[in-house]
């Protein structure tokens, strides 16, 4: 396989794991807050098959990976019935932010493992610094090179997924926080126009997305280079 195909494969593996963690976190938190809907449907699972949306999980990420644009996509939405929550507003917020928080946890775990690889040997340090500098690591003959590349993709994609979902545009997770603080008439309009704002953000807001992602990516990379 060519280095580009290997890179796409790593990105898809990392993406499938990231969305599985994200949706499982929603389902687990909802269950803890009193709504068993997602848990009863088997959504508290890291099996990506339970979370796959044909367009958002397969087609769009593949197109993004092949075309070289940032890998974005979505999973099948986790079903939640807020009527089952013990504390409707707070539990809805907790369930919503659980997904992005779980992605930051995975990104941090990948960061620490990459740091361990960097500290393990001179070759490991060179490999990790090469990834930070923009290399793909595919040409490295070091035994842990594939693991390091996968961890780097895992870190990056989980950061992207977490930040993107925290944007307060319906139906993204961040909107579930903001909408509870809006007056009812405004909230109704907010919910209705959300999908159009989301499409505009994805297709026209590339510069905005980059501006939102850049500080988080730089923060993680700034820690990684210190190992």
Q: Tell me the percentage of the chain whose pLDDT exceeds 90.
A: 56
pLDDT at 200 > cutoff 80: no
| pLDDT value of residue 134 | 83
State the pLDDT confidence band at 112, using cuts at 50, 70 and 90: very high
In the predicted structure, residue 33 carries a pLDDT above the cut 60 = yes
Query: Nearest CA to 7 among 149, 159, 208?
Result: 149
Q: How many domains does the chain have?
A: 1
Contact yes or no for 175/99 (Cβ under 8 A)? no
Q: Specify the range with the lowest mean pLDDT, choosing from 93-97, 106-110, 134-138, 197-201.
A: 134-138
Query: Count of alpha carbons within 13 Å of 91, Cβ hemisphere only?
Result: 19
User: Known catalytic residues?
Assistant: 23
pLDDT tens by residue, 152-163: 999 999 999 999
Determine the straight-line distance between the first and last CA of the chain, rounded to whole angstroms.
31
Give the range of the structural domain holding residue 161, as residue numbers without chain letter. Answer: 3-224
């Amino acid at each position: 396989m060519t280095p580009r195909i290997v890179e796409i494969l790593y990105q898809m593996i990392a993406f499938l794991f990231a969305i599985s963690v994200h949706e499982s976190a929603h389902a687990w938190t909802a269950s803890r807050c009193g709504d068993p809907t997602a848990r009863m449907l088997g959504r508290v699972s890291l099996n990506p098959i339970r979370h796959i949306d044909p367009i958002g999980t397969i087609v769009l990420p593949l197109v993004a990976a092949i075309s070289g644009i940032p890998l974005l996509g979505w999973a099948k939405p986790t079903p939640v019935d807020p009527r089952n929550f013990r504390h409707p507003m707070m539990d809805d917020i907790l369930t919503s932010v659980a997904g992005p928080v779980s992605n930051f946890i995975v990104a941090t775990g990948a960061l620490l493992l990459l740091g361990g690889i960097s500290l393990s040997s001179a070759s490991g340090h060179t490999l990790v610094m090469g990834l930070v500098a923009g290399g793909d690591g595919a040409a490295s003959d070091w035994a842990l090179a594939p693991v390091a590349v996968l961890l780097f993709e895992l870190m990056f994609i989980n950061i992207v997924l977490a930040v993107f979902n925290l944007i307060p545009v319906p139906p993204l997770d961040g909107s579930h926080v903001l909408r509870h603080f809006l007056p009812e008439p405004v909230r109704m309009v907010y919910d209705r126009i959300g999908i159009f704002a989301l499409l505009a953000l994805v297709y026209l807001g590339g510069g905005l997305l980059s501006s939102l992602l850049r500080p988080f990516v730089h923060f993680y990379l700034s820690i990684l280079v210190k190992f």
